[in-house]
Structure 1
Amino acid sequence: MKAVVFAYHNVGVRCLKVLLARGVDIALVVSHEDNPQETIWFDSVAAICREHGIPVVTPSNPDNPELLAQITALQPDFIFSFYYRHMLPVTLLSLAKHGAYNMHGSLLPKYRGRVPINWAVLYGETETGATLHEMTAKPDAGFIVAQTAVPILPDDTAHEVFGKVVVAAEQTLWNALPAMLSGKPTKLPNDLSQGSYFGGRKPEDGKIDWQQTAQAVYNLYRAVAPPYPGAWTVVGDTTFVIENARLSTIVTPNLPLGLAVEDNCIFGVCGDGRALLIKSLTADGKTVTAEMLQATLQRNAGQTPQ
């Protein structure tokens, strides 16, 4: 069986390795050029392709006549998308004789769309997973072939959950491939009424609203903790980013909302009177101590936290 694979990131690397281990002929990989403005903390699809002698191209847009002609000439049995960042046009999907399939980082139909792991953590979910599904004109809407669940523990960051989902994606594809290669893929319903579509997130979405409950602020921290851009707040003209935090068991009724220092510890005091105990705080990429923060707070006393 011959496949054309659209792939990027760790999920792309692991799922490519599964296809190779199952004996699939990967005729072409379509990937992305790394963005110099982005922190590249993940594995390289292009490196795996070089290692295995697989042709790889990186068009800025998959909806172009040159790529369509190239894939048409290959006559693939399957088209796969593993963490590729663009929607594939129907004209491409229709070239796969045995179907076009995507690996999505949630338990569909929940959390369709962009950055599903970050959204799941933000909304306090206790599990998510990986879903292999048919690609259609509408995103994440085709029938489900297989899915694997993973837990989201109370203190897991999105990065930690992502590591679990990479393994879940590998397991899902490994288990589903034999039936797919024999022409008998499982077809489970994907009831879109049971989930919602979510868009992408930007660094500015990490701004903390200290009026929220401590659990809500903690979920935001976990959803965007490094290597993502982080949860942040402004004191005076300084932007502080929370690098590491935990929910505090200490009640803080006498501390103002926002960043505060008590007993040489840094807290983030929230609207319900509870707080985050902040173990690591940075500004301009440098670590901020409790003493340094206290000096900033004193200089800006009386200001409303931003």
Structure 2
Amino acid sequence: MHAVVFAYHDVGVNCLNALLSAGIQIDLVVTHQDDPNENVWFGSVAKLCADKKISFITPTANELPDLIPKLQALAPDYIFSFYYRYMIPAQILACARIAALNMHGSLLPKYRGRAPVNWAILHGESETGATLHVMEVKPDAGDIVGQAAVPIGPDETATDVFEKVTQAAVEVMEQALPSLIQGKIPRKANELEKGSYFGGRKPADGQIHWKQTAQQVHNLVRAVAPPYPGAFTNHQGKTMIVAKTSLKGPFPADLDLGAVGIQVVDNQVFGICGNRQALEILEWFPASK
């Protein structure tokens, strides 16, 4: 079996390795150049390809249509997308002889779209996972090929959960590959009406609104904790990144639960929220750092 793979991030690295372990011939990898303005804390698909002597390219989104003749000539059995960030044109998907498949970091149909792990934590979900699905023009809408779930702990950050989702993605690949190698695509309907779609998140979306509940603020902090851009608030004229919080208490008796915002008691920092509950700020630092 031959494949062309669009890949980036840890999921890209690990799922590529799963294909290689299964004996899939990878004719070309399409990946991204790292953004110098982004905190790149994850594995490099380009480095993996260089190490394994796999041909790879890093086109811009506008250059993707130029690949169509090349992919038509390669005529791969499969096209895979593993955390590739650009929308792949339909003409490219059509170059796959058997199917074009994408790995998504949620339990579809929930959390279609961008940043699925971050959104799941933000909404207080207790589980998420990885889903391999057939690619269509509409994002994350094709039939489900395989899924694996992972729990989300009440204090886990997006990085903690993403590590588990990456392992779940490998598990899904290992379960699906025996059928895929035989040219068989397991399919289950992706019931979009039972799910949800979310767009990308910007650093500005990390602003803490203390009128929200303590649980909502805690979830935001977990969802965007470093190495993501971080939740932030203003304190004494400085923008502070709030990196870690706790709801567990006990909390000082002299906290004023009627005054939302930051309160410091005995060198401990607390946030008072709109539901008259406190959370402790365990780690914070100036945004300038």
TM-score, normalization by structure 2: 0.96
Structure 2 CA distance for aligned equivalents of residues 237 and 6 of structure 1: 45
Compute the displacement of 1:64 (Å): 3.6
Residue matched to 2:256: 254
Amino acid at match of 1:125: E
The answer to whether 1:13 aligns with 2:13 is: yes
Amino acid at match of 1:94: A
Residue matched to 2:270: 267
Query: Contact 1:252–1:274 (CA<8 Å) still a contact in 2?
Result: no
- Report which stretch shifted further, 114-123 or 233-242: 233-242
Residue matched to 1:295: none
Query: Contact 2:64–2:89 (CA<8 Å) still a contact in 1?
Result: no
Residue matched to 2:54: 54
Residue matched to 1:66: 66
Residue matched to 1:125: 125
Compute the displacement of 1:78 (Å): 0.3
Compute the displacement of 1:230 (Å): 0.5
Compute the displacement of 1:151 (Å): 0.1
Count residues in correspondence: 286
Percent of matched pairs sharing the same residue: 54
Task: Render the CA deviation track for 1:232-290: whole Å, top value 9, x for unaligned.
Answer: 0113531011122211422665253111101210111111121221111100455xxxx
Compute the displacement of 1:178 (Å): 0.7
For 1:40-119, what aligned pairs fall within 5 Å after superposition?
40-61=40-61, 64-119=64-119
Residue matched to 1:148: 148
Structure 2 CA distance for aligned equivalents of residues 65 and 220 of structure 1: 38
Residue matched to 1:218: 218
The answer to whether 1:279 aligns with 2:282 is: yes
Task: Render the CA deviation track for 1:176-204: whole Å, top value 9, x for unaligned.
Answer: 01101102221001000001110000000
Compute the displacement of 1:40 (Å): 0.6
Task: Render the CA deviation track for 1:146-170: whole Å, top value 9, x for unaligned.
Answer: 0000000111111100000000000
Q: How big is the alpha-carbon RMSD for the aligned residues of Structure 1 and Structure 2?
A: 1.3
Residue matched to 1:289: none
Cα separation, partners in 2 of 1:252 and 1:61, compared to 1, 3 Å: farther
Query: Contact 1:62–1:86 (CA<8 Å) still a contact in 2?
Result: no
Residue matched to 1:192: 192
Task: Render the CA deviation track for 1:73-124: whole Å, top value 9, x for unaligned.
Answer: 1111100000000111110000100100000000000000000000000000
Query: Contact 1:206–1:229 (CA<8 Å) still a contact in 2?
Result: yes
Query: Contact 1:252–1:275 (CA<8 Å) still a contact in 2?
Result: no
Cα separation, partners in 2 of 1:84 and 1:62, compared to 1, 3 Å: farther
Cα separation, partners in 2 of 1:162 and 1:252, compared to 1, 3 Å: farther
TM-score, normalization by structure 1: 0.91
- Report which stretch shifted further, 55-64 or 123-132: 55-64
Structure 2 CA distance for aligned equivalents of residues 252 and 41 of structure 1: 41
The runs of 4+ residues in structure 1 deviating greater than 6 Å are: none
Amino acid at match of 1:223: A
Could you say what secondary structure the match of 1:266 adopts?
A: strand
Q: Which runs of 5+ in 2 are unaligned?
A: none
Query: Contact 1:3–1:28 (CA<8 Å) still a contact in 2?
Result: yes
